[in-house]
A and B are shown apart, each in its own frame.
Chain A
Amino acid sequence: MLQKQTTSTRFFRTKLTKALALVAGIIVLYIVAALTLGYDLTSFGAISQGFAWLFHYFMPTGNVLQFLGAIVTQIFRTFLIAVCATTVASVFAIVLALVGAKNAGLIPVIGIFIKGLASFLRNIPLAAWALILVFSFKQNELTGFLALFFMSLGFLTRAFIETIEDYGTDTIKALEATGATYPQIVCQAILPALAVPLCEWVLYMIENNIRDAVLVGLITGSGIGFLFDLYFKSLRYNAAGLVVLGVVVLVIAWEILSIQLKKRIEHHAKD
């Protein structure tokens, strides 16, 4: 009994020591990095000042309403670009994933190729995509669309492949045993079984792409990102602030909507 207690005491003391060591390690890392960069540790004090400045200038006040029409139009267009890019990408991604998933049992080399391609597309930063595409497609909405499309294609293909592979081979084999062809198995088993998680990935991707569309617009000179850039550079900070507010409202609205959509999808799947 006594023996046991000392063992447990030692066990928990060791755990505590380890946790403290971890925290200490992080602090040391910060200090080393900050010293190397020459940060003044007291500069945190300036943060509140910075925010005060931010609020003062970016407050959408005054005659800002004159910009409202243009802003709402552009936010809506940006939203549509994000939705288009995601939906088109998800159509291509599901085809690639259905061919590339291991449990599909199609040609393994093609699967490896598709996974490699998807990782490649996904791991190029969005800003890099936008910059590269601006070269070839000039500054317009198509460029923004393509940047979001390639990025989403990579991300969704990987996500779909993982979802499909998690489904395993049991049911697929069972339908194969009835003499069903692979396209039939896709429509009769894989898609009905995975409809909910696949749709959730698409909703998540749209949410991300709305946010990213602003950045892409900034770089490719289109949509709401362009408008922000314009107001900012022409010192109309209050209008730029309204743009930010508008984007936040859009993202929150979409989040609320997509939670409702997810509930519907899950509920429908249960009926």
Chain B
Amino acid sequence: MLTVKNLTKTYNGSKRSLEMVTFTVRPGEMTAIIGPSGAGKTTILRSINQLIPDDSGEIFLDDQDIRQLNKQGLRRVRHRIGMIFQNYNLVDQLTAIENVLHGRLGAKSALAGMLSLYSREEKQEALDLLGEMGLADFAYKRCSDLSGGQKQRVGIARALMQHPKIILCDEPIASLDPKSTTLVMDILKKLTTTQDISILINLHQVDIAKTYADHIVGINQGLVVFDNDAAALSDEAIQEIYA
């Protein structure tokens, strides 16, 4: 469903960050990208929804090359790609439900989005999603008052509000305690099995990647050095990825 082909990226004035990166995310699977710090994991994720411009390559989401889209087309595609972050990146001064409703902005007219003119159905859906995340009682709490694990679940609800085909996760558990980590990973895993959403997740912890992911892509200095089923990740392969 998502295919990245020969993606190459060099930041201004530094050495090449991504070199001919190629891999595929299959529908309903969790694909983990692992690799040492600075390998290019974040760069890959941000190139996929074009938050940063890349140099060359192809990024196909269901036969559509994201890199060839105009502004409107890109906006539509972004709306179908959820994204969650290590630092949650919510608007802390707003309530949980307001943050979840941000997931609708990509589908609304500019003005309706600016003025928060959400329909009754949209509001109900946001509440339901918060309920599914175990946050029913926190809908009208300011996000700055939530714990890290709660914030990340608001972030997941925001992504789900987009009705995404795929969710990109950039180290979503790096700031969480073990209990919240399990909670968040279980939620993400369940999305792949029950809702057929694909997940592409950057992870630092190899054991978590092995436990949860169906498919693992190993990156080292911008190169793909491993691309196979999670079960096939041997100790030698890990050594090579983190070399």
Contacts and interface: CB of A to CB of B under 8 A. Distances in A.
A177 B93 contact: no
A181 B75 contact: yes
Contact of B105 (A178, A192, A270): A178
A189 B83 CA distance: 17
A188 B91 contact: yes
A187 B91 CA distance: 11
Given A178-B162, A179-B79, A184-B114, A170 B87 contact: yes
Nearest to A194: B93
B78 A188 contact: no
Nearest to A184: B113
A219 B107 CA distance: 55
B147 to A, nearest CB: 18
Contacts of B51: 173, 176-177
A177 B78 contact: yes
A227 to B, nearest CB: 44
A1 B113 CA distance: 67
Nearest to B115: A187
Interface string A157-188: 00000000000001101111111110110111
B89 A179 contact: no
B85 A188 contact: no
B114 A176 contact: no
A187 B89 CA distance: 16
A186 B91 CA distance: 11
Contacts of B85: 170, 174
A175 B100 CA distance: 11
Highest count of chain B CB atoms <10 Å: which of A173, A175, A180, A181:
A180
Nearest to A174: B89
Interface size class of A (residues with CB under 8 A): 20 to 34
12 contacts: A170-B87, A170-B89, A174-B89, A175-B105, A178-B78, A178-B102, A178-B103, A178-B158, A184-B105, A192-B93, A192-B94, A270-B142
Contacts of B82: 178
Contacts of B168: 177
Nearest to A185: B105
A269 interface: yes
B16 interface: no
B47 interface: no
Label chain A's interface by main secondary structure: helix
A181 B82 CA distance: 16
B66 interface: no
Given A183-B114, A187-B114, A188-B105, A177 B91 contact: no
A25 to B, nearest CB: 43
Interface of B: 46, 49, 51, 75-79, 81-83, 85, 87, 89-94, 98, 102-103, 105-108, 110, 113-116, 142, 158, 162, 168
A31 interface: no
A65 interface: no
A184 B76 CA distance: 15
A193 interface: yes
A174 B105 contact: no
Nearest to B86: A170
B79 A175 contact: no
Which 5 A/B pairs are nearest by Cβ-Cβ distance? A179-B106, A174-B89, A179-B79, A180-B105, A184-B113
B51 to A, nearest CB: 5
A195 interface: yes
Contacts of B158: 178
A269 B82 CA distance: 29
Nearest to B158: A178
A179 B66 CA distance: 13
Given A173-B51, A177-B49, A179-B79, A193 B106 contact: no
A217 to B, nearest CB: 39
Contacts of B110: 181, 183-184
B22 to A, nearest CB: 23
A176 B87 contact: no
A229 to B, nearest CB: 47
A269 B110 CA distance: 25
Given A177-B168, A181-B113, 7 more contacts: A174-B85, A177-B51, A178-B103, A178-B162, A180-B105, A180-B106, A181-B105
Nearest to B111: A183
Contacts of A271: 142
Contact of A179 (B91, B92, B107): B107
A175 B85 CA distance: 12
B165 to A, nearest CB: 13
A73 B236 CA distance: 86
B87 to A, nearest CB: 6
Nearest to B164: A178
A192 B77 CA distance: 27
B133 to A, nearest CB: 17
